C-alpha cells in the first residue's frame, strides 16, 4: 500500500505545485514525482545573500565551463550565482533535428525558481483569434471560463500591478504596483499622445509589493527590490513552488514528494480503459518502481510531458498514450523573442531612482485584435523600460586611476530605453517532437528529438516590431538608436508550448475543456504542453489557472467515483 495514492503529480514546478496544492486541499493523498534533487525554501538557496565580490569569478563562468555548456549558459539569468538551479548540457542530452535551445532546471520547484515572473492575463482575443483568423483550431474554453481561476491564483501567489482598463490585457486581483521612473512616465505619456491604442503600463509581476494575510500565512514577506530573484529569495518575495504551493500542500498532511524520480511512462490498464499508475526509475539506483493512483496530473514541463506520453505505449496505444490520430508531439509552439531595440534619451539628468526593481514595463499587444491589421497573424507583447547607466562613461585615453577616475565612476551615466518583443507563433503539425529510435538516456529512455522552426509569419512579425519600435523610440526623443534580430533558435524563450493540445475534437486534439485526455479520462495535462495556441502574453499564470481549474474538477470527479 505504500505505493498507492489517490493522485500522482508528475513535476513540481509552477503547474505541478498548483496541482499538488489543490488536490491536497481537497483531501486527496498526493504523490509529487520530481526527477531532480530536493530543494527546500531558504535552506537550499546557497547564494541568496552573497555579494558580487564573494563569487570566485564575480558572477561569471569560466571559459572552460562555457565551452562544455554552450546551450544552458545562453539562458536568461544564468550565471555563477544561479548555476545550481540549471542542468548541465552533457547530463541531459536530446537530439536537434533543427536548432532548438531547450532550457531546463531539474529540482523540486523546477523552473519556478528561475522564471521571469510576468503575469499578464490572456484576453478573449487570444482564445478566439486562431479560429477567427484561420491559423489554429478552436479553443474549448474562453476567457470567461478561466477568469475566476485567474483571480483564485492571483490572490494566492501575489501579483502586483495596476487596474489599467486595457481590453487586450484584462485587469486582475493586484497588489500595489512598482512605480514607473521619470523616463518611463515620459514614455507612457508619449504613447498616449501620439499612438492611440498603445498602452505602456507597469507590468503585472508575481512579487509581494505589499503582502496580504494569505501571503504571511505562507511564511512569505515583502519583496525587498534586490532583483536577485533567480538565486532563490529568502524573503519569499516572489512566487515559487518552493516558497508557496508545495509547503501549503505539505501542511495538509496529504503530500508526499519523491525527488530523484525519472518518470519512464504512464501505465495503462487495458481492462479498465484508464491509467493505473506511473513507472519511475530512481535516478541514483536505477531501480524501477510503479506507483498507483486513480488520478494522474502530467506537469513535467511541455517537452518532457510530451516525452513521457510518447513513451507511454501499450497494446491500446502503440504510438503513445491517447495518440490515436498522430497528434501527440505535434503543433509545438514557442514565443518569438528575436528582436529588440533601444536608444539614449536626454533631458532627465537631474533624476535618478532607488532600488533594483524586479519588474519591467509592458506595452500591451496592439496588433490584430478586433480585426487583422497586418500581413501576419497573431500579436506581440513588448517588454520595455528605462534605466540609467551606473557610471559616467570614461574615455579610453583618460586615466584609469586616481580621484578624477573615481569621481567619474560615482556620477550616474546616460538614461537609456530598451524594448524587446514576445511574439505569438503559429501551431503547425510540422513543428513537432518525437522519440529517437536508437538513442537513449542514462535511464534507458529514448531521447527526445526536436524538429521545431520559424516560418514566414515569424519573419513578418519581427519586421513589424523593428519598424514600430523605431517609430516609438524616435517620437519619445531617443538618439543613438539601435535594433537587432538575434536569429536565436526557438526554445531560448523558455516558453515552449503544445504537443498535447486542448480542443473540442478528439481527432485533432488530446485534451478536453478540463485538460482531461479524451481517450484516457483519469490523466490530466496542465503545463505548457496543453496549449492550443501561444497568445502573446507570458503563459505561466495561465498554466496555474488551468491547473487549479482542472484539479478541482478532478477532485470532484474522484469524490463522485467517476474517476
% of the chain at pLDDT higher than 70 = 100
Supply 448's cell numbers.
Answer: 527526445
Q: What is the DSSP letter of 502?
A: B
Note the helical H segments in 447-539. 456-476
The arithmetic mean of pLDDT across residues 439-464, rounded, is 98
**Cα-to-chain-centroid distance, residue 485:** 22
The SS3 of residue 476 is: helix
**208-218 tens-digit pLDDT:** 999 999 999 99
Structure confidence by residue, pLDDT tens digits, 24-46: 999 999 999 999 999 999 999 99
Q: How far apart are CA 490 and CA 545, in angstroms?
A: 25
Q: Within 10 A of 84 (CB to CB), how many other CB atoms are there?
A: 17
pLDDT the model gives residue 194: 98
Does pTM surpass 0.75?
yes
Q: H helices of 371-502, where?
A: 403-410, 456-476
Name every residue whose Cβ is closer than 8 Å to that of residue 172 and which is 6 or more positions away in sequence.
119, 121, 150, 151, 154, 159, 161, 204
- Is the Cα dihedral 226, 229, 232, 237 positive or negative? positive
Report d(CA 363, CA 372) in Å as an integer: 19
Look-up: residue for cell 504512464?
A: 266
* Whether residue 432 has pLDDT greater than 80: yes
Does residue 101 have a pLDDT over 70? yes
Quick check: 132 pLDDT over 90? yes
Integer Cα distance of 238 and 206 in angstroms: 6
Residue 1: per-residue pLDDT: 57
Between 409 and 137, the more confident residue is 137
Rounded average pLDDT over 131-150: 98
Amino acid at each position: 500500500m505504500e505505493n498507492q495514492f489517490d493522485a500522482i503529480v508528475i513535476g513540481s514546478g509552477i503547474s505541478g505545485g498548483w496541482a499538488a496544492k489543490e488536490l491536497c486541499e481537497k483531501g486527496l493523498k498526493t504523490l509529487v514525482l520530481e526527477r531532480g534533487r530536493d530543494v527546500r525554501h531558504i535552506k537550499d538557496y546557497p547564494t541568496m545573500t552573497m555579494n558580487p565580490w564573494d563569487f570566485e569569478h564575480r558572477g561569471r563562468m569560466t571559459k572552460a565551463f562555457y565551452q562544455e555548456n554552450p546551450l544552458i549558459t545562453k539562458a536568461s539569468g544564468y550565471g555563477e550565482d544561479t548555476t545550481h538551479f540549471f542542468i548541465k548540457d552533457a547530463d541531459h542530452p536530446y537530439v536537434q533535428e533543427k536548432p532548438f535551445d531547450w532550457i531546463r532546471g531539474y529540482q523540486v520547484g523546477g523552473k519556478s525558481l528561475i522564471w521571469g515572473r510576468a503575469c499578464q492575463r490572456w484576453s478573449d482575443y487570444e482564445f478566439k483569434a486562431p479560429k477567427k483568423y484561420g491559423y489554429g483550431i478552436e479553443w474549448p474554453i474562453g476567457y470567461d471560463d478561466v477568469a475566476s481561476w485567474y483571480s483564485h491564483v492571483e490572490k494566492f501567489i501575489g501579483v502586483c500591478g495596476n487596474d489599467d482598463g486595457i481590453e487586450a490585457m484584462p485587469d486582475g486581483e493586484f497588489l500595489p504596483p512598482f512605480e514607473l521612473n521619470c523616463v518611463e512616465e515620459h514614455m507612457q505619456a508619449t504613447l498616449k499622445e501620439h499612438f492611440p491604442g498603445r498602452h505602456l503600463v507597469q507590468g503585472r509581476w508575481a512579487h509581494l509589493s505589499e503582502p496580504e494575510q494569505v501571503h504571511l500565512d505562507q511564511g512569505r514577506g515583502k519583496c525587498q527590490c534586490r532583483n536577485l530573484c533567480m538565486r532563490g529569495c529568502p524573503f519569499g518575495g516572489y512566487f515559487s513552488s518552493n516558497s508557496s504551493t508545495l509547503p501549503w500542500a505539505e501542511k495538509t498532511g496529504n503530500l508526499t514528494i519523491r525527488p530523484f524520480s525519472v518518470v519512464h511512462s504512464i501505465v495503462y490498464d487495458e481492462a479498465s480503459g484508464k491509467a493505473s499508475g506511473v513507472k519511475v526509475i530512481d535516478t541514483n539506483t536505477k531501480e524501477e518502481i510503479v506507483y498507483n493512483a486513480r488520478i494522474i496530473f502530467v506537469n513535467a514541463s511541455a517537452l518532457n510531458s510530451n516525452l513521457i506520453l510518447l513513451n507511454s505505449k501499450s497494446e491500446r496505444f502503440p504510438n503513445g498514450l491517447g495518440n490515436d490520430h498522430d497528434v501527440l508531439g505535434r503543433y509545438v509552439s514557442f514565443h518569438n523573442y528575436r528582436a529588440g531595440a533601444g536608444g539614449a534619451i536626454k533631458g532627465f539628468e537631474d533624476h535618478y531612482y532607488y532600488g533594483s526593481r524586479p519588474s519591467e514595463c509592458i506595452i500591451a499587444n496592439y496588433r490584430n485584435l478586433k480585426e487583422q491589421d497586418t500581413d501576419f497573424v497573431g500579436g506581440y507583447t513588448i517588454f520595455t523600460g528605462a534605466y540609467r547607466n551606473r557610471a559616467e562613461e570614461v574615455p579610453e585615453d583618460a586615466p584609469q586611476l586616481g580621484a578624477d577616475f573615481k569621481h567619474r565612476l560615482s556620477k550616474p551615466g546616460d538614461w537609456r530605453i530598451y524594448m524587446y518583443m514576445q511574439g505569438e507563433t503559429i501551431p503547425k503539425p510540422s513543428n513537432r517532437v518525437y522519440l529517437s529510435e536508437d538513442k537513449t538516456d542514462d535511464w534507458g529512455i529514448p531521447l527526445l528529438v526536436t524538429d521545431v522552426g520559424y516560418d514566414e509569419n515569424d519573419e513578418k512579425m519581427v519586421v513589424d516590431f523593428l519598424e514600430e519600435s523605431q517609430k516609438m523610440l524616435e517620437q519619445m526623443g531617443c538618439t543613438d538608436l539601435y535594433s537587432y534580430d538575434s536569429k536565436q533558435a526557438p526554445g531560448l524563450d523558455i516558453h515552449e508550448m503544445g504537443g498535447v493540445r486542448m480542443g473540442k475534437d478528439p481527432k485533432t486534439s488530446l485534451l478536453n475543456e478540463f485538460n482531461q485526455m479524451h481517450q484516457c479520462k483519469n490523466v490530466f495535462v496542465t503545463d505548457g504542453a496543453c496549449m492550443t495556441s501561444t497568445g502573446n502574453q507570458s503563459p505561466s499564470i495561465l498554466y496555474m489557472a488551468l491547473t487549479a481549474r482542472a484539479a478541482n474538477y478532478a477532485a470532484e470527479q474522484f469524490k463522485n467515483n467517476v474517476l
